[in-house]
Amino acid sequence: MAGIVSAAVSAFVAWVALWLGLGWLEALILSAVGGGVALAASIYLLKFFLLDQVRQILQTIKLTKSNLMNESPSGFLSDPLGRVDEAVSRWSKEQNLKREEQEKLERYRKEFLGNVSHELKTPIFNIQGYIHTLLDGAKDDPATNLSFLQKAARSADRMEALVKDLLTISELESGSVRMEWENFDLHELLQDVFDSVDHKARGRGIQIEIKAGCEPPFGVRADRKKIRQVLVNLLSNSIHYGNDQGLTQVGVFDMGQQFLIEVSDNGMGIEPEHLPRLFERFYRVDKGRSRSEGGTGLGLAIVKHMLEVHGQTIHVRSSAGMGSTFGFTLNKAQT
Predicted local confidence at residue 57, as pLDDT: 63
Predicted local confidence at residue 9, as pLDDT: 46
- Convert the pLDDT of each residue in 192-205 to its tens digit: 999 999 999 999 99
Predicted confidence band of residue 28 (pLDDT cuts 50, 70, 90): low
Q: Which helix (H) or strand (E) holds 223?
A: strand 219-223
HSE toward the beta carbon, residue 248, CA cutoff 13 A: 31
What's the CA gap between 66 and 233, in Å, rounded? 43
- The top-scoring range by mean pLDDT among 67-76, 143-152, 305-314 is 305-314
Query: What does the pLDDT average to over 244-253?
Result: 93
Contact by Cβ (8 Å): 149, 130: yes
In terms of Cα–Cα distance, which of 115, 127, 234, 237 is closest to 166?
115
Among 152, 174, 196, identify where a domain stops.
174
In terms of Cα–Cα distance, which of 14, 7, 19, 42 is closest to 29?
14
323 and 190 together in one domain? yes
Q: How many domains does the chain have?
A: 3
Point out the least confidently predicted range of 59-63, 156-160, 206-210, 231-235: 59-63
Predicted local confidence at residue 177, as pLDDT: 81
DSSP, res 178: P
Q: Which helix (H) or strand (E) holds 231?
A: helix 224-241
Among 174, 203, 236, identify where a domain stops.
174
CATH number at residue 308: 3.30.565.10
The CA-based angle 198-221-247, given to 5 degrees, is 25
In terms of Cα–Cα distance, which of 226, 230, 234, 233 is closest to 181?
226
CATH number at residue 160: 1.10.287.130
3-state SS class at 54: helix
Query: What does the pLDDT average to over 142-154?
Result: 84
Among 174, 201, 222, identify where a domain stops.
174
Distances (CA, A) of 39 to 8, 14, 16, 308, 311: 10, 16, 19, 67, 67
Contact by Cβ (8 Å): 305, 173: yes
293 and 225 together in one domain? yes
Predicted confidence band of residue 76 (pLDDT cuts 50, 70, 90): very low
* pTM (predicted TM-score): 0.64
9 and 114 together in one domain? no
CB-based contacts of 258, cutoff 8 Å, min separation 6 = 329, 330, 331, 332
Can you count the helices (H) and strands (E) in the chain? 8, 7
61 and 193 together in one domain? no
Predicted local confidence at residue 66, as pLDDT: 47
Query: What does the pLDDT average to over 3-21?
Result: 52
Domain with 117, as residue range(s), is: 104-174
